[in-house]
Amino acid sequence: MFIDKATISVKAGKGGDGAVAFHREKYVPAGGPDGGDGGHGGSIIVVSDDNMSTLMDFRYKRKYVAENGMNGQGKRCSGKNGGDTFIKVPRGTLIRDKETGGIIKDMTDSAPFVLVKGGRGGWGNHHFATPTRQTPRFAKPGTNGEAREVVLELKLLADVGLVGFPNVGKSTLLSVVSKAHPKIANYHFTTLFPNLGVVYISEGRSFVMADIPGIIEGASEGAGLGHDFLRHVDRCRLLVHVVDVSGSEGRDPIEDFEAINNELREYNHELAERPQIVVANKIDILPEGSELLSEFRDYVTELGYDFFEMSAATHTGTQELIKAVGEKLMNLPPIKIFEADYIEPEIVIDTSEEVSIEQYDDVWVVEGPWLEKLISTINFTDYESRMHFDRILREAKIFERMEAMGVKDGDVISMYNLEFSYQS
């Protein structure tokens, strides 16, 4: 089964919590703090795999989670980091944000891509000991791992894409010029999924050709197999547009040619502008006296397209076509790689959400989900940003609450990875 689109949800692991523990030993009356750190949560990492050619695996498994980090323990034992989860996808898979459709990553190279990052492990209490604070009774919780829903969309990587009506001989051409064995038969929609073939031109020179299911008029509205398969020629550097000029199905080559170009335009304007070589096929069964070929040739060359005649069945003209394709490719830009265009949504901070304030001697541990988000957006080396941060804390009445609880100048405020001293 060929599957080229799938929606999955991914969730990275939570960081483990830091531990609160104190050293205990015979004859040592008051041991120091020795609570270890929590381990980091595992991430979800995507890698491209050349042995995969469809997204079928994702039909049966849609949820991916990475391991949580373990909590820290006494004796300064750090919790174990959560293991990463690797997701393999066929090369050429686009990862999009489900909500916005924005492109997060085009998996065309071999570098692993971190899709969601695991949470950080919290620090154990031994980090918080100072000469004046010898028994910190607090530690930090681990932070949550990132989570998101994404759409995987396979766009095959091919230099040349074959387009045309059903039954015109696209698969036959691929089978003649490459070692691929696509299904060939005398009826419409023989090809139900894309086929790739490597075409050798001469020593060390070759290109990849993609054969996709035939397109018909109205494909963009869902007629025939629709036009979704065009995504597999979307990256192609060159299109080879195959037209049956024999009139064997009673159709007009010029109308067919225009109908396909229309459908390309409907799919994506840019695809219709892609360099195209037009090939008149089935010249071996051209009825005597037929004007279809010469009329079509005049029409197409007038429009400025490169034009070839062939019979894929008898291999007439196929080598000339391949040679011309090879030459044309030398002057065309490389296979299209999609740039990421996904924009992280602005972080919304709702200061009405709860914030916990806990006092441990002269240390105040202040925590709440929105605070964590806020801290991640602040650049603490920048005065303006610091003022902004301070203003939000005041507006949220954090300091007011602490004053009511008896905070003194010089006390330490500890918020996630941030520590600063209180000044009224």
Ligand X SMILES: Nc1nc2c(ncn2[C@@H]2O[C@H](COP(=O)(O)OP(=O)(O)OP(=O)(O)O)[C@@H](O)[C@H]2O)c(=O)[nH]1
Instruction: Find the shortest distance in angstroms from Cβ 97 to Mg ion.
Output: 34
Helix and strand element counts for the chain (H, E): 9, 18
Q: Is residue 185 involved in binding ligand X (CB under 6 A)?
A: yes
Q: How far is the CB of 285 from ligand X (least distance, A)?
A: 4
Q: How many whole angstroms separate alpha carbon 163 and alpha carbon 243?
A: 9
Q: Two tokens at 61?
A: 């498994």
**Binder of Mg ion out of 48, 71, 78, 171 (CB under 5 A):** 171
Taking the complex as a whole, the smallest distance from the CB of residue 325 to ligand X amounts, in Å, to 17
Q: Please state, in angstroms and as integers, the Cα–Cα distance from residue 277 to each residue in 70, 327, 404, 405, 424, following that order.
A: 60, 12, 79, 79, 76
> With CB under 6 A as the contact rule, which of the stretches 91-99, 162-170, 336-344, 409-417 interacts with ligand X?
162-170
Report the residue number, 41 or 166, with the smaller CB distance to ligand X. 166
What minimum distance in Å lies between the beta carbon of 143 and ligand X? 52
Binding range to ligand X, per CB under 6 A, among 123-131, 187-195, 271-279, 332-340: 187-195
Asked if residue 191 binds Mg ion (CB under 5 A), the reply is yes
Residue 281 in the binding site for Mg ion (CB under 5 A): no
HSE-CB for 332 with a 13 A CA cutoff: 21
Q: Which is nearer to ligand X, 178 or 311 (CB)?
A: 311
**What gap in Å lies between CA 99 and CA 125, rounded to an integer?**
40
Residue 195 binds: one of ligand X, Mg ion, none (C-beta under 5 to 8 A by kind): none
Which of ligand X, Mg ion, none interacts with 189 (beta carbon under 5 to 8 A by kind)?
ligand X
Q: Characterize 359-394 residue by residue with b for buried, 16 or more Cβ atoms within 10 angstroms of its Cβ, and e for exposed.
A: ebeebbbbbbebbeebeeeeeeeeeeeeeebeebbe
Which among 181-189, 257-265, 346-354, 370-378 is the span making contact with ligand X, rule CB under 6 A? 181-189
209, β-bridge pairs: 160, 197
Q: Is 172 in the site for Mg ion (CB under 5 A)?
A: no
Among the listed ranges 16-24, 27-35, 298-306, 310-318, the one in contact with ligand X (CB under 6 A) is: 310-318
Q: Residue number with the shortest CB distance to ligand X? A: 214
Q: Are 238 and 328 in contact (CB under 8 A)?
A: yes
* Smallest distance from ligand X to CB 191, Å: 3
Q: What are phi and psi of 197, to 5 degrees?
A: -140, 145
Is there binding between residue 312 and ligand X (CB under 6 A)? yes
Contact with ligand X (CB under 6 A) among 9, 54, 135, 190? 190
161 binds ligand X (CB under 6 A): no
Q: Which residues contact 185 (CB under 8 A, 6 or more apart)?
A: none
> CA 265 to CA 309: how far, in whole Å?
25
Q: 39 touches which of ligand X, Mg ion, none (CB within 5 to 8 A by kind)?
A: none
Ordered DSSP codes for 282-308: -GGGPPTT--HHHHHHHHHHHTT-EEE
126 binds, among ligand X, Mg ion, none (CB under 5 to 8 A by kind): none
DSSP letters spanning 140-174: PPPPPPPEEEEEEEE----SEEEE-STTSSHHHHH
Q: What is the size of the binding site for ligand X (CB under 6 A)?
A: 23
Residues that bind ligand X (CB under 6 A): 166-172, 184-186, 188-191, 213-214, 281-282, 284-285, 311-313
Residues that bind Mg ion (CB under 5 A): 171, 190-191
